[in-house]
Structures are given as C-alpha cells and as structure tokens.
C-alpha cells in the first residue's frame, strides 16, 4: 500500500480540519480542474480561489444542487455498491507515500483488494455516459489520481442515479498519471510562489476568453432552443406552458423621443437645462475579444477514455427502497433525480 492513511479530525470530510489538510496538497477532485477537464472551473480560477485573490466566483446553483444531492445519496450509493460487489468499503483520507502533495479522499476503499472507489450521483447526461461504458471526461483524472495515491492497478467508478447504479472498472493509466503529477507539481509550485505567470494580464485574458467562448456557445444553444419553443406555440395563442417552461407572446409600444416632442411643440432646452433633470452618472465596463476566433478552438477537447466495464446494473432484487430500509434512512423527497 503506497499511501499514508490520515486519521483524527482531518479524516472527517468537509470539516475545518479536513479543509486545512487539503490546503497542504492537491486533492484528487482538483486533478480534472488542473488538467483542463472540469466543466465548472479552470486551473487559473482554482489558483486564485485557493490564494483568495480577486473577486469570488459567482454562485453556481446547479452545481451546488448536484453537490448537495451527492452528499445525501452517497451512503445509499455506497450500500448499493457493496451489494453489487459483495465487498465492504470504508471512506478514507490518504496521502501518497511517493509524493506528499498528492492526496485523495476516497468515497470507499477496499483494503483487501487495494481498490479505491469513486461514487458519483450525477445528472442525467453523466450517468448516461457511464451506462454506455465510459467514465465521464470530467471525472477520469480524479480516479487516476486516486489509483496513484493507493498504488492500485485499477479503481472503481460507481455512478448512481438514486435508484440504480452502474459500475465501471478503470485500469491504471500510467502515462496519464505522469501527466497529472507533472501538472499538479507545476500548479503547486505556482501556489507557493503566489504567481501564476510572469504576465498576469495574459493569464486573466486567457481565462476570460475561454469563459466568453463558453458563454457564446451557450447563448447560441439557448437561442436555438428558444426559437424552437416559439415555433411550437400555436398561432393566436399568447401563452404556452409545459415541461417547466412558459412562453409569453407580447408586444410593447415604442419609446418616446421627448426632445423631439418638445422641439415640435416649440420648446427648446439647452444642455444645461436638461442636465438639471439628469440622474446621477454611472460607469460601465466593456470587455471584448479583439481577435475573435471559432469559440470551439478555445475549448479543451472532450475525448472519453476507454475503460473496462463490469455489470452495468444492480441485481434485480436490489433497489433504492431496500437500501434505505437497510440503512434505516428516510427516502429523499421526490424521485426525479435527473438535473
């Protein structure tokens, strides 16, 4: 076993002691961010967040919903995994015995077979990818770092939708682990220096361009979906509602050109007279891409790693109701787990 197991208060995930412990190294969940695979953050944003530099990122309610849902479902998913495999696993916090800055918080660990377990209770898209036999790209590097920390030949990725689970066995990918370690050490070095690059403007500009590219793609997709909804509204119907979406067709009168109206009425005001009725001045900031390119060129490629799959479903006798009963837990209100 090539790892150092952490005990005491720091072993309680999400506790203050655990957060302090994480600050002394690079956690497995940060590997996808550092490797440019996260959907929600970039390495530069993580760097600034860890150092407390600059404005805080805006709240992401969707991400928080997924995280909270994952925390509530994790013990249910872990029990489902144990019934699936016949193994008993324990959440574990550990440090690599080879490289002390490389760390992992395992959702489960099998000490007999030396297999780390990563549990995800994701949205419908990520779960569908797992059902197809692949680890979602944004989680693959996390599993590889876990495999490195415990010195295993493979790890388990378990995707749970609240009712059923799919288990994927992920083989150790040493070439990818080498890339993760190199990137993590580089990231850690920047953290110690508190400098991302010799030109912070270029770093911030690159982060903005990537975020703006994401925004433009999202806007285009939203506009396309909006046009489709509008096209489906029957003619003469001012409002259509369904599927949690409401479309309201309305019009509004044009704005009034008051200066021209007054002039036509023979009233001509000077700028000084107009300024008497002007509200307090305000300032604005405009940021634009002076060298726009195809937004997709600024995005990281999303290739799905090849993995070996095992059984894709729980045994028919195993379901969420049985697991809740075994753990003496109350079911989470609602059964629609797809976000």
Name, in order, each residue with C-beta under 8 angstroms of 178's C-beta and a sequence gap of 6 or more.
none
Distances (CA, A) of 93 to 10, 72, 172, 187, 320: 8, 19, 20, 21, 27
Q: What angle do CA 50, 41, 28 make, to 5 degrees?
A: 65
Quickly count: other Cβ atoms within 10 Å of residue 218's Cβ: 11
Reported as a single tens digit per residue, the pLDDT across 168-211 is: 999 999 999 999 999 999 999 999 999 887 677 877 787 788 78
**pLDDT at residue number 335:** 34
Tokens of 253: 């009168």
Tens of pLDDT, residue by residue over 233-274, are 888 888 888 888 898 888 888 888 888 888 898 888 888 888
Q: What domains can be seen in the chain, in order of their start residue? A: 3-202+297-326 (3.90.320.10)
pLDDT of residue 73: 92
pLDDT at 180: 97
pTM, entire model = 0.68
Phi then psi dihedrals of residue 305, to 5 deg: -65, 150
As a whole number of angstroms, the distance between CA 34 and CA 43 comes to 5
Please write the tens of the pLDDT for every residue from 63-95.
Answer: 788 888 888 999 999 999 999 999 999 999 999
pLDDT greater at residue 285 or residue 7: 7
pLDDT, tens digit, 9 for 90 and up, residues 275-301: 888 888 887 777 777 776 654 444 443
- CA 337/CA 279 separation, integer angstroms: 49
Mean pLDDT of 318-327: 48
The string of pLDDT tens digits covering residues 158-167 is: 999 999 999 9
Please give the helix or strand (H or E) that residue 246 lies within, else none: strand 245-248
> Which pair of structure tokens corresponds to residue 43?
């390495």
Distance between CA 111 and CA 94 in Å, rounded? 13
**CA quadruple 263, 267, 271, 275: dihedral positive or negative?**
negative
Euclidean distance between the first and the last CA atom of the chain, given in angstroms as a whole number: 38
* Residues sharing a CB contact under 8 Å with residue 217, sequence separation 6 or more, in sequence order: 295, 296, 299
Q: What is the mean pLDDT of residues 215-242?
A: 85
């Amino acid at each position: 076993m090539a790892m150092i197991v952490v005990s005491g208060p720091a072993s309680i995930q999400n506790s203050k002691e655990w957060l302090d412990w994480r600050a002394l190294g690079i956690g497995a969940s940060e590997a996808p961010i550092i490797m440019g695979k996260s959907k929600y953050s970039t390495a530069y944003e993580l760097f600034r967040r860890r150092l407390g530099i600059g404005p805080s990122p805006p709240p992401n309610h969707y991400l928080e919903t997924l995280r909270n849902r994952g925390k509530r479902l994790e013990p249910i998913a872990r029990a489902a995994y144990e019934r699936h495999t016949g193994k008993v696993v324990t959440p574990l916090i550990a440090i690599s015995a080879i490289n002390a800055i490389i760390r992992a918080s395992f959702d489960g660990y099998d000490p007999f077979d030396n297999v780390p377990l990563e549990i995800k209770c994701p949205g419908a898209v990520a779960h569908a990818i797992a059902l197809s036999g692949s680890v979602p790209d944004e989680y693959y590097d996390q599993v590889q770092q876990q495999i490195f920390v415990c010195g295993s030949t493979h790890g388990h990725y378990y995707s749970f939708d609240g009712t059923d689970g799919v288990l994927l066995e992920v083989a150790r990918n040493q070439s990818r682990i080498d890339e993760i370690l190199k990137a993590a050490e580089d990231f850690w070095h920047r953290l110690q220096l508190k400098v991302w690059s010799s030109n912070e403007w270029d770093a911030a500009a690159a982060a903005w361009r990537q975020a703006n590219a994401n925004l433009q793609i999202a806007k285009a997709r939203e506009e396309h979906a909006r046009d489709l909804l509008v096209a489906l509204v029957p003619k003469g119907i001012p409002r259509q509602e369904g599927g949690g979406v409401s479309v309201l067709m309305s019009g509004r009168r044009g704005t009034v050109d008051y200066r021209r109206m007054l002039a036509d009425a023979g009233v001509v005001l000077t700028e000084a007279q107009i300024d008497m009725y002007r509200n307090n001045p305000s300032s604005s900031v405009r940021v634009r891409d002076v060298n726009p390119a195809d937004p997709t060129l600024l995005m990281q490629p999303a290739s799905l790693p090849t993995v070996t799959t095992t059984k894709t479903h729980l045994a028919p006798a195993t379901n969420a109701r049985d697991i809740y009963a075994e753990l003496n837990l109350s079911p989470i209100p609602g059964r629609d787990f797809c976000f």
